[in-house]
Chain A
Amino acid sequence: GAVVSQHPSRVICKSGTSVKIECRSLDFQATTMFWYRQFPKQSLMLMATSNEGSKATYEQGVEKDKFLINHASLTLSTLTVTSAHPEDSSFYICSASWGSGELFFGEGSRLTVL
């Protein structure tokens, strides 16, 4: 099946710093990528939808200035958590689609903000 890779898988940062998480589709061109956030023992929550070359569409309640999403190419989307704080600590998952009707998920990135 199609492969989506996230990097880094784990990141620890100090409060106030910014962290970038990459999501790459390794063997297909992803017209659309999605970013989710997952709290322990809770559902995956869709944060935003990004289409290559256009601005991301954020879900209600998600801070656009806090979570910057860029989809600069058909194989790469990035999520930057700006001025991170401990409450931003979470598991972030991306998924990608090329229009086949199926989503392909990355392995997830665990962010810990100290």
Chain B
Amino acid sequence: AQSVTQLGSHVSVSEGALVLLRCNYSSSVPPYLFWYVQYPNQGLQLLLKYTTGATLVKGINGFEAEFKKSETSFHLTKPSAHMSDAAEYFCAVSLRSNDYKLSFGAGTTVTVRA
């Protein structure tokens, strides 16, 4: 079985500051890891995913995440926050690349201060 823990249900950053969202996973086999973003009144949108290969994954909107097996982590970062980054972010894990039985974290709400 696999599970995900997102540390911090709410993160507040200043515009232009670093965004760091933490995600730790538990999996009995090498995991596939995902970050999704949900804007108000919209569906979840895939930001990026890690399957195999390069451990630093770049996604849309300037986000990237690094898979660290030794730390069982997949933290999401963005060097400079923009007001449009205010949203809910979900980390998810699955056992296969196309396995849609995703296990989601509880989500982290990001607010951006002007």
Interface positions of A (Cβ within 8 A of B): 1, 4, 9, 32, 34, 36, 41-46, 49, 93, 95, 97, 101-108
- Chain B residue nearest to A6 (CB atoms) is B43
Known A49-B100, A95-B100, A101-B98: A43·B45 in contact at CB below 8 Å:
no
Q: How many A-B residue pairs have CB under 8 A?
A: 49
Residues in A with CB closer than 8 Å to B43 are 4, 93, 95, 104-108
- Majority SS of interface residues in chain A? strand
Overall SS of chain B's interface: loop
Q: How many residues of B contact A (CB 8 A)?
A: 21
Q: In the complex, what distance in Å separates the CA atom of A50 from the CA atom of B43?
A: 19
Residues in A with CB closer than 8 Å to B90 are 43-44
- The listed residue (B46, B97, B102) touching A46 by CB distance below 8 A is B102
